[in-house]
Amino acid sequence: MRILHTSDWHIGRSLYGRKRYDEFAAFFDWLAKLITEQQIDALLVAGDIFDTSTPSNRSQELYYRFLCRVARSSCRHIIVIAGNHDSPSFLNAPKEILRALDVHVIGAMTAQHADEVLVLKDTHDHPQAIVCAVPYLRDRDIRTVDAGETLEDKSAKLVAGLQAHYAAVCRIAEQCREEIGEVPIIAMGHLFTAGGKTVDDDGVRELYVGALTRVGADAFPTCIDYLALGHLHVAQCVGQRENMRYSGSPIPMGYNEAGHAKKVVLVEFNSRVPAIQEIQVPCFQPLVRISGSLAVIQDRIDELKRQDSNAWLEIEYTGQEIVGDMRELIETSLAGSAMEVRRIKNKRVIDRVLGEIMDDATLDDMDVQDVFARCLDTHAVLPEERDELVQAYHEILASLHEEDQNAE
């Protein structure tokens, strides 16, 4: 059986206001062709299908068109789980219709653990694999709250809740395997594991800060033959276990991701031992960051023009002189090319205008964690008092992100 593992599509993602639908369309076209060429039997999509809980009509069109195209190919099964960016009720709404195409959607933790266990069969109706399709587990799904809990108590409960859920689902899968024979058990998930590699602007919302980062490979039941994870955008193994993997995002979410090779994972089972191969995803839209003096910036632009580049540029001017007409100079340098400037950071102008009020940062440069840290600094909160305040802040953010706006 040949399985393709992907995740973190983030359909609808924009880059400094620039829509990226052409990139997503190109990726789906490439992925559909790969599925046909490699004779894939099952596609596993490990969460964060959309970038927001209320995806645009164009985003939905890309998603459903791709599912229909793959359903007509050699791929007999598509399993989609929700990530933390997804609306569980939105993903679940068409699940009965999609099931007719052998597209199985698990948008949220189910009332019955058995509903997260799927048996995949071949064209002769013989079982080939068992999939434990565990979606993103929200705090309220796996943790009870008691008065007077410490940060360590909360963290321990989160980890214990996650382990208990996987243990229960995998126990059902093992019982199923006893009945149908020695087929592989494949588990899915969308979470943050110990030692996971991230990049600064990947948009990963580590909502369980300080908790799930301590979940290691040993937290998952040993019956799992392959673990297909989503949430981290860098393709990587979990705890050096080759059969426990993040596929990573197929498209760079920001400029810090642009230097990473994007991949999908091909897993082939002839028995219960997986043969694993990473397949690199083509770059559909180059992202280039240029930093330096005006001369360095213009030289690099000239070099890219000679290469007929169509890159989207992020430019950071770090020269000593104040250049007030930076954008005009850059646009002039780009004349006649297919390149676009998505962002210009002129640190000298920022220094002059903001002075010491905001150092050299604007709200565009900061995320919600930076803003809260500034707030604590402004109110001179003592270091020993910060941990509890930061944890409470993260819990508030988590509750906001996890609110399903489409539930009613």
How much of the chain exceeds pLDDT 70, in percent?
86
Tell me if 25 is assigned to some domain.
yes
- The pTM of the full predicted model, rounded to 2 decimals, is 0.85
CATH classification of the domain holding 252: 3.60.21.10
pLDDT at 210 over 50: no
Tell me if 405 is assigned to some domain.
no
| Owning domain of residue 360 | 287-400
Of 251, 280, 309, which marks where a domain is finished?
Answer: 280
CATH classification of the domain holding 310: 3.30.160.720
Same structural domain for residues 275 and 304? no
Same structural domain for residues 275 and 293? no
The mean-pLDDT minimum among 19-23, 140-144, 191-195, 353-357 falls in: 353-357
Tell me if 406 is assigned to some domain.
no
Same structural domain for residues 338 and 210? no
- Provide the pLDDT for residue 406: 63
Tell me if 315 is assigned to some domain.
yes
Confidence of residue 209 (pLDDT cuts 50, 70, 90): very low
Same structural domain for residues 272 and 182? yes
pLDDT at 355 over 60: no
pLDDT tens digits, 83-94: 999 999 999 999
How many domains is the chain partitioned into structurally?
2
Tell me if 237 is assigned to some domain.
yes
pLDDT tens digits, 43-68: 999 999 999 999 999 999 999 999 99
pLDDT tens digits, 70-79: 999 989 999 9
Average pLDDT over residues 265-274: 93
Of 280, 306, 334, which marks where a domain is finished?
Answer: 280
Of 250, 280, 310, which marks where a domain is finished?
Answer: 280
Both tokens assigned to 148: 């007077």
Tell me if 407 is assigned to some domain.
no
3-state SS, the chain, equals CEEEEECCCCECCEECCEECHHHHHHHHHHHHHHHHHCCCCEEEEECCCECCCCCCHHHHHHHHHHHHHHHCCCCCEEEEECCCCCCHHHHHCCHHHHHCCCEEEECCCCCCHHHHEEEEECCCCCEEEEEEECCCCCHHHHCCCCCCCCHHHHHHHHHHHHHHHHHHHHHHHHHHHHHHCCCCEEEEEECCCCCCCCCCCCCCCCCCCCCHHHCCHHHCCCCCCEEEEECCCCCEEECCEEEEEECCCCCCCCHHHCCCCCEEEEEEECCCCEEEEEEECCCCCCEEEEEECHHHHHHHHHHHHHCCCCCEEEEEECCCCCCCCHHHHHHHHHCCCCCEEEEEEEHHHHHHHHCCCCCCCCHHHCCHHHHHHHHHHHCCCCHHHHHHHHHHHHHHHHHHHHCCCCCC
Tell me if 408 is assigned to some domain.
no
Tell me if 145 is assigned to some domain.
yes
Same structural domain for residues 222 and 199? yes
Same structural domain for residues 251 and 362? no
Average pLDDT over residues 337-349: 83
Same structural domain for residues 261 and 325? no
The mean-pLDDT minimum among 20-24, 102-106, 253-257, 378-382 falls in: 378-382
Same structural domain for residues 298 and 275? no
Same structural domain for residues 100 and 18? yes
Average pLDDT over residues 368-374: 76
Q: Phi-psi bin for 343: left (phi > 0), alpha (psi -120 to 50), beta?
A: beta
Same structural domain for residues 367 and 241? no
Same structural domain for residues 247 and 391? no
Same structural domain for residues 272 and 375? no
